[in-house]
Chain A
């Protein structure tokens, strides 16, 4: 049904999204935790920064990534010179763009989960001799796990559809950075590519549906386990 190149685009999309969520999620958890539990200087700025990719045109986010992580950018040049890592126009770069774009969605979902936890339970753990890290690991994170998992799945599903930031920062290179949406876009640029685009769109639609249903189901299951 799908050609080898199309399969490649599907697998690449899944891999890029997995890396984006794999690296983005721990950072998102820590950010959400800091934003809900502590009042610190620069909290408002951090909060705004986190949400920026949600309101900026994706092209602008991609361009900002180029400026920062490009070969001559402050972080990009450092990575290139010290570690020989290049992000622009690479699969890793596509993952970075996806991670940045889905970060606000993940943080929001995790924050909601953290805010819904009864602070009294953390106080109780405190009086039972648990320090802050102990409380985070044994009480806060397990209780927030439905929100964290749902955030991860919705974030993953969103990654599968990232377009603007990815094409701007990582370009549209088949086999390297050409994820599903980019492949669909490329197919539509070629005369007679409509059939291919339709096929790929169906794959995209199926993946998105699976993601949403899965997050719903997992959220319910975990909440049942947690006794809610």
Chain B
């Protein structure tokens, strides 16, 4: 199962030319500033917008191919879409909303009770949409899309209209869904935190073009991509818990080909988690300092140095055996250490600066 899309479309203000292929199952984040064409991609995939030129294939089925004259209408695509504004039918109960798509397709693998349970909406079934909170509404909308047995799930900024508390309430449900369902999910957002928590891979778009594409850790650690220029630039690594030292209140993680010590986790040895290492928290050194509170001295190689003239700083990309880190330093530091690509360097990271995002 996979999902591939290529489209060209001319808007009055922007020329779009986008192509990518998404592995399945898994969550792919479609990330970019507003106006970069994220919604166009989603609408074309759902069949709500017809681009000048496109080819869309899901799971071996061609949904659209301009050259071959194929254009399936949205109702024939089996592509689920979760809108930012949930769009529940106001004249139907939650249960009827959930069953709307389900009643229109042959029975599939996604079961009503399973979804209701997974999304925690069992108590809402008899309610009307206008009596639900924003978070509840969005959970019902997700359930409704999934029960239509889609081959691909599109989520168009599903959490953008919710406040931080509601977001935090929904994110665990999304993580559960992701592991329980085996289908490709394309997740549009402009919130890097959602990406860090949910996505496996990432398509970075800007002004109608794909500027970066790959696994999340790969894209996040590229100093030459727009993400590295953000204040919250960070490396994202998938780690495995190697050992828990209860006496020292530390856990040892292994990820990206390096070892990290972090404050003791509640996770059993062998479980996986994702960590976030902010670029501004990573210090670079030529040789290891002694007698220091710091736990993590990670050897790596300088891969790229990209100047950020706006912030009068430089972003250094450090290659690890199986991943990378980012470090934001001053140009003066780059000069003093004599950093250049290919050179070995030590990355110093406080254990308390490593953010563990859950499993």
Interface of A with B (CB < 8 Å)? 118, 120-121, 123-131, 134, 138-139, 142-143, 225-228
Contacts and interface: CB of A to CB of B under 8 A. Distances in A.
Nearest to A126: B74
B225 to A, nearest CB: 32
Which of B46, B77, B91 has the largest number of chain A CB atoms within 10 A? Answer: B91
Nearest to A118: B87
Contacts of A227: 90-91, 128-131
A125 B148 CA distance: 11
Contacts of A138: 100
Nearest to B129: A227
Contact of A127 (B48, B91, B128, B129): B48
A127 B77 CA distance: 8
B26 interface: no
Interface residues of B, number: 29
Interface of B: 46-48, 73-81, 83, 85, 87, 89-91, 100-101, 104-105, 128-131, 144-145, 148
Given A129-B105, A227-B128, A124 B87 contact: yes
B101 A129 contact: yes
A124 B83 contact: yes
B101 A121 contact: no
B75 A131 contact: yes
A123 B128 CA distance: 20
A139 B145 CA distance: 16
Nearest to B147: A128
A127 B85 contact: no
28 contacts: A118-B87, A121-B87, A121-B90, A123-B74, A123-B87, A124-B83, A124-B87, A124-B89, A125-B89, A126-B73, A126-B74, A127-B46, A127-B74, A127-B75, A128-B75, A128-B101, A129-B105, A129-B148, A130-B100, A134-B75, A134-B104, A138-B100, A143-B91, A225-B91, A226-B91, A227-B90, A227-B129, A227-B131
A127 B90 contact: no
A125 B80 CA distance: 11
B153 to A, nearest CB: 11
A143 B89 CA distance: 9
B148 A228 contact: no
A83 to B, nearest CB: 40
A109 B35 CA distance: 37
Contact of B90 (A123, A129, A134, A228): A228
A124 B78 CA distance: 12
A85 to B, nearest CB: 39
B86 to A, nearest CB: 9
Contact of A226 (B77, B90, B104): B90
A124 B43 CA distance: 11
A123 B39 CA distance: 14
A123 B100 CA distance: 13
Given A123-B48, A127-B74, A129-B105, A143 B90 contact: yes
A97 B334 CA distance: 89
Which of B47, B81, B87, B148 has the largest number of chain A CB atoms within 10 A? Answer: B87
A128 B104 contact: yes
